[in-house]
A and B are shown apart, each in its own frame.
Chain A
Amino acid sequence: MAEDITVKDAPVAGGTKKAGLLNRFDNPWLNWKFLSGAGILGFMFFLIFLGYQLWDTDLALSARAPLNLPPVGFSNWRGQEGIPEHPLGTENSGRDMLALWIVGTPRTIFVGVVAATVGMIAGIILGFMAGFLGGIFDDVIRLAVDIAITIPSLLVLIVIQAVLGRVDLLTMALLISLFSWATPTRYIRAQVLSMRESGYVQMARLSGVPVRDIMFKEIMPNLLPYLAASYIGNMQGAIISAVGLEVLGFGPQRIPSLGVAIFFSIEAGALFRNMWWWWGVPTVTLSIVFVALLLISLGLDEVANPRLRKAN
Chain B
Amino acid sequence: MGGISLNYLVRRLLVFFLTLWVAATLIFIIPRLAPGDPIAAMVARLSYQAGFVENSNLIIEGWKERFGLNDPVYVQYVRYLTGLLRGDLGYSMARFPSTVSELVGRALPWTLGLVGVATVIFFVVGNLCGALLVWNKTPRMVRVMIPISMMFTSIPPLLAGLLLVYVFGFLFKWFPQTYSYGFGMTPALTLEFIANVIHHGFLPAMAIVLVTFGYWALGMRGMMITIEGEDYMILAQAKGLKPFYVLYRYMIRNAILPQMTALAVSIGTLVNGAVLVEVIFNYNGMGTLIFTALREQDFGLIQGTSFILITTSALAVLIIDLSYPLIDPRISLEGR
A contact set with B: CB distance below 8 Å: 1-3, 143, 146-147, 149-156, 158-160, 162-164, 183, 186, 236-237, 239-241, 243-244, 247-249, 262, 266, 271-272, 274, 276, 279-280, 283, 286-287, 290-291, 293-294, 298, 301, 305, 307-308, 311
Chain B CB count within 10 A is highest, among A236, A271, A280, A286, for A271
Indicate which residue in B30, B156, B218 contacts A163 across the interface (CB closer than 8 Å): B30
Distance between Cα atoms of A272 and B234 in the complex (Å):
58
Kindly state whether residue B134 has any CB partner on chain A within 8 Å.
yes
CB distance from A301 to the nearest CB of B (A): 8
Which residues of chain B have C-beta atoms less than 8 A from A274's C-beta? 170
B38 touches A163 (CB 8 A): yes
Distance between Cα atoms of A308 and B270 in the complex (Å):
26
* Tally of contact residues, B, Cβ under 8 A: 62
Distance between Cα atoms of A243 and B268 in the complex (Å):
17
Which residues of chain B have C-beta atoms less than 8 A from A279's C-beta? 162, 166
Which residues of chain A have C-beta atoms less than 8 A from B177's C-beta? 271-272
Kindly state whether residue B18 has any CB partner on chain A within 8 Å.
yes
CB distance from A272 to the nearest CB of B (A): 7
- Enumerate 20 A-B pairs (CB-CB under 8 Å) in ascending A order: A2-B228, A152-B269, A155-B275, A155-B306, A155-B309, A156-B27, A240-B156, A243-B158, A243-B159, A244-B272, A244-B276, A248-B276, A272-B170, A279-B162, A290-B154, A291-B153, A293-B154, A298-B218, A305-B222, A311-B134
B268 touches A149 (CB 8 A): yes
A237 touches B268 (CB 8 A): no
Interface string of B277-309 (1 = CB under 8 A from A): 001100000000011001001010011001001
Q: Which of chain A's residues has its CB closest to B156's CB? A: A240
Q: Which of chain A's residues has its CB closest to B291's CB? A: A248
Knowing A244-B156, A307-B229, say if A271 contacts B162 (CB, 8 Å).
yes
Kindly state whether residue B205 has any CB partner on chain A within 8 Å.
no
Kindly state whether residue B84 has any CB partner on chain A within 8 Å.
no
Kindly state whether residue B267 has any CB partner on chain A within 8 Å.
yes
Kindly state whether residue B46 has any CB partner on chain A within 8 Å.
no
Add 9 more A-B contacts to A143-B14, A271-B166, A287-B159 (CB < 8 A): A2-B237, A159-B306, A163-B38, A164-B34, A244-B156, A290-B155, A291-B151, A308-B225, A311-B134
Kindly state whether residue B3 has any CB partner on chain A within 8 Å.
no
Distance between Cα atoms of A250 and B222 in the complex (Å):
38
CB distance from A307 to the nearest CB of B (A): 5
Knowing A143-B15, A152-B271, A274-B170, say if A1 contacts B309 (CB, 8 Å).
no
Which residues of chain A have C-beta atoms less than 8 A from B14's C-beta? 143
B310 touches A151 (CB 8 A): yes
Distance between Cα atoms of A186 and B23 in the complex (Å):
20
Distance between Cα atoms of A272 and B303 in the complex (Å):
32
Kindly state whether residue B220 has any CB partner on chain A within 8 Å.
no
B30 touches A146 (CB 8 A): no
Distance between Cα atoms of A163 and B275 in the complex (Å):
19
A1 touches B15 (CB 8 A): no
Distance between Cα atoms of A236 and B265 in the complex (Å):
16
Distance between Cα atoms of A266 and B275 in the complex (Å):
16
A262 touches B162 (CB 8 A): yes
Which residues of chain B have C-beta atoms less than 8 A from A162's C-beta? 294, 297, 299, 302
Which residues of chain B have C-beta atoms less than 8 A from A247's C-beta? 158, 276, 279
Which residues of chain B have C-beta atoms less than 8 A from A147's C-beta? 15, 18-19, 22
A248 touches B279 (CB 8 A): yes
Within 8 A of A (CB), among B19-33: 19, 22-23, 26-27, 30-31
Which residues of chain A have C-beta atoms less than 8 A from B165's C-beta? 271
A151 touches B313 (CB 8 A): yes
B310 touches A155 (CB 8 A): yes
Q: Which of chain B's residues has its CB closest to A2's CB? A: B237
B170 touches A151 (CB 8 A): no
